[in-house]
Amino acid sequence: MSVLLDVNAISKRFGGLLAVDNATFTVEARSITSLIGPNGAGKTTAFNIVSGFLPTDSGAITFRGERIERLPPHQIVLRGMSRTFQDPRVFAEMTVMENVVVGMRLKGENPLWALLRGHDVDAQWAKARERAEGILKNVGLIDRAHEKASALSFGEQRFLSIARALVSEPEIVLLDEPTVGLDRGSFGKLV
């Protein structure tokens, strides 16, 4: 297998607190890799650095052979990486379907261009809805597709955030605490 993500000696300080200290790991293509440690060990901070939400103080991050440690999150998403957060971060007033379809928007469509293109956009939206429906079926939320995301339980919102991360067909998905708030029966849906 080839290396998809190479994280080399990243560090991050918050004042006097060293949150990540020379973390180094690789993720092979088509593999599952876990970042394990106790609460406060810096796992979320490492994810925030890798996904561009925080700058690293030192070290290098290479994704698909390209250095990304200075790129903003939207640029990293466009290159094929998505992530979830510890809290689901759904768009509460949007429907479940809209929450998932918006994940496809992250592929880089310029909103003004989308408005001007007319019928081509209709075809793209149809494809987006079809893909979103498939993912919602997989996470058990298809029957709730037209409800507002705020009506979902915490666990269902967790599945919704995972669906949104998957809809853009990323090459890598960073799942930050994906099972928090899920009971044993719900966890079975993830595997």
Could you write out the DSSP letters of every residue in 149-188?
GGGS-HHHHHHHHHHHHHTT--SEEE-SSTTTT--HHHHH
Instruction: Name the burial class of residue 189, with classes exposed (0-12), middle (13-18) and buried (19+) by CB atoms within 10 angstroms of its CB.
Output: middle
7-41: burial string, b at 16+ Cβ within 10 Å, e else? beebbbeeeeeebbeebeeebeeeeeeebeeeeee
| Model confidence pLDDT, tens digit, residues 129-177 | 889 999 999 999 999 999 999 999 999 999 999 999 998 889 999 999 8
pLDDT at 11 over 70: yes
Pick the most confident of 54-63, 88-97, 167-176: 54-63
Instruction: Name the burial class of residue 126, with classes exposed (0-12), middle (13-18) and buried (19+) by CB atoms within 10 angstroms of its CB.
Output: exposed
pLDDT at 58 over 50: yes
Above pLDDT 70, what percent of the chain? Answer: 86
Between residues 119 and 164, which one has the greater pLDDT? 164
Between residues 18 and 179, which one has the greater pLDDT? 18
- What value does the mean pLDDT take over residues 80-100? 92
pLDDT at 121 over 70: no
pLDDT at 114 over 80: no
- What value does the mean pLDDT take over residues 48-59? 97
Q: What's the token pair of residue 56? A: 């690293």
* SS3 (DSSP) at 80: coil
What is the chain's mean pLDDT, rounded?
Answer: 88
- What value does the mean pLDDT take over residues 4-26? 96
Q: What is the pTM of this model?
A: 0.83
- HSE on the CB side for 115, CA within 13 Å? 2
pLDDT at 106 over 70: no
